[in-house]
Amino acid sequence: MYKICLLPGDGIGPEVIAAAKDVLTALPVEWDFTEFGIGFGEYQRSGSPLPDSTLQAILHADAALFGAVTTPPNIPNYFSPVVRMRQSLDLYANLRPTRSIPHSSSRAGIDMLIVRENTEGLYSGIERVEEDGDRAITERVITRKGSERIIRKAFDLARQTGRKSVHVVHKANVLRQTCGLFRMVAFEIAKEYPEITMNEMLVDTCAMELVRAPEQFEVIVTTNLFGDILSDEACMFVGGLGVAASGNIGADAAVFEPVHGSAPTLVGTGKANPTATFLAAAMMLEYLGENEQSARLRNAVETCIASGQVTPDLGGSLTTGEMTKTVIQRI
Ligand code: NAI
Ligand code: MG
């Protein structure tokens, strides 16, 4: 029995999370689901977009599945619950699998995993303005500990999934200290994985190579900002936002989510594509060690896509609920 914390959030979040719950329930796995609040709706109800009870629930669950939140217009004491959640729970690894889908919008032959550092780098939150607003500074913090754990996570995942290479992406020729440390740690860690080839690549070269020949990459590991950009770039080769899923992994908690936002204009129309959340649920199954069920769910989703039984964003005519039913039938 797995304890799963569901975090529906705002907009289409509740619609895609309900769909994923139905699909997970159709698998031969025992679930104990509990829902907790996050986002703007939760702020309006309780005064906080991320109540402590929600954080505690994520910590005490085996894993969490998160929909999406809406960012409200300027509210002084409002904070991003997604960023806060990643920081509070130290969810240091952001995983973005990028895999071809059987659809005309997807290139073939791609199966890569982008592993992005999620807690430091240029997003450490150390910023200031000087000289009466004419000079703004952001500090880029890279630590040995932060680099070690993300690089080790990338090599561990490569090993677990039978991949043969890891690309360490940096800009150490210019950012000599911060990227220099990240790069040096990568060379140290790579020695512990003799069966895996480590390739280093400058981030600008990587951006180019991703467009030229994305199938060359198996695992990419990189710092926060670079990973943010490269993972969004990469997902456009394999179907885009409707199907892109991600995981945020820490030592004590894990939160899986679709990459898309709350898509306010789609609420209640039945047009929200649940695929990204289904694939996030498949990642969650893999994290829980249910590899067979994960593959089963992914196969069911891919068969639907291949036969055109999809929502309008992928050229089909099914509603969220109809596509969910079809996936369940295929399971
Ligand atoms: P969005 O991802 O919600 O929508 C971008 C475009 O993709 C829209 O045209 C939307 O209709 C479409 N789309 C998104 N998800 C879809 C799905 N499942 N099926 C079919 N089409 C889909 O991004 P946008 O419009 O920039 O932001 C809307 C709200 O979401 C904002 O308040 C933003 O701050 C928030 N947001 C939240 C995120 C999160 O919770 N992790 C991530 C990104 C944005
Ligand atoms: Mg992004």
Of 262, 273, 275, the one to substitute when testing ligand 1's pocket (max ligand atoms within 8 A of C-beta) is 262
Is the minimum distance from the CB of 313 to ligand 1 under 6 angstroms? Answer: yes
Distance CA 118, CA 123 (A): 8
| Closest listed ligand to the CA of 240 | 1
Residue 73: per-residue pLDDT:
86
Measuring from atom 16 of ligand 1, which residue has the nearest CA?
A: 242
Angle among Cα 8, 245, 111 to the nearest 5 degrees reads: 165
Is the minimum distance from the CB of 273 to ligand 1 under 6 angstroms? Answer: yes
Is the minimum distance from the CB of 13 to ligand 1 under 6 angstroms? Answer: no
Residues with active-site annotation: 123, 171, 204, 228, 232
**Can you tell me whether residue 141 is helix, strand or coil?**
strand
Is the minimum distance from the CB of 165 to ligand 1 under 6 angstroms? Answer: no
95: region left, alpha or beta (phi > 0 left; psi from -120 to 50 alpha)? beta
Residue 74: per-residue pLDDT:
84
Closest to 168 in 3D by CA, of 208, 205, 211: 205
pLDDT in tens, the chain (331 residues): 999 999 999 999 999 999 999 999 999 999 999 999 999 999 999 999 999 999 999 999 999 999 999 999 888 889 889 989 998 999 999 999 999 999 999 999 999 999 999 999 998 889 999 988 999 999 999 999 999 999 999 999 999 999 999 999 999 999 999 999 999 999 999 999 999 999 999 999 999 999 999 999 999 999 999 999 999 999 999 988 899 999 999 999 999 999 999 999 999 999 999 999 999 999 999 999 999 999 999 999 999 999 999 999 999 999 999 999 999 999 9
Distance CA 52, CA 44 (A): 15
Atom number, ligand 1, closest to the C-alpha of residue 258: 41
Radius of gyration (Cα) for the chain, nearest Å? Answer: 20
Residue 77: per-residue pLDDT:
81
Q: pLDDT tens across 207-254, in order?
A: 999 999 999 999 999 999 999 999 999 999 998 889 999 999 999 999
Where are the CATH 3.40.718.10 domain residues in the chain?
Answer: 1-100+239-331, 111-236
Please give the distance, rounded to the nearest whole angstrom, from the Cα atom of residue 188 to the centre of ligand 1: 39
Distance CA 309, CA 325 (A): 11
Residue 182: per-residue pLDDT:
98
Q: Which CATH superfamily is domain 111-236 in?
A: Isopropylmalate Dehydrogenase (3.40.718.10)
CATH code given to domain 1-100+239-331: 3.40.718.10
Atom number, ligand 1, closest to the C-alpha of residue 39: 40
Residue 251: per-residue pLDDT:
94
170 contacts 223 by C-beta, under 8 angstroms: yes
Is the minimum distance from the CB of 201 to ligand 1 under 6 angstroms? Answer: no
Distance CA 297, CA 319 (A): 19
Q: For residue 6, give the amino acid letter.
A: L
**Can you tell me whether residue 209 is helix, strand or coil?**
helix
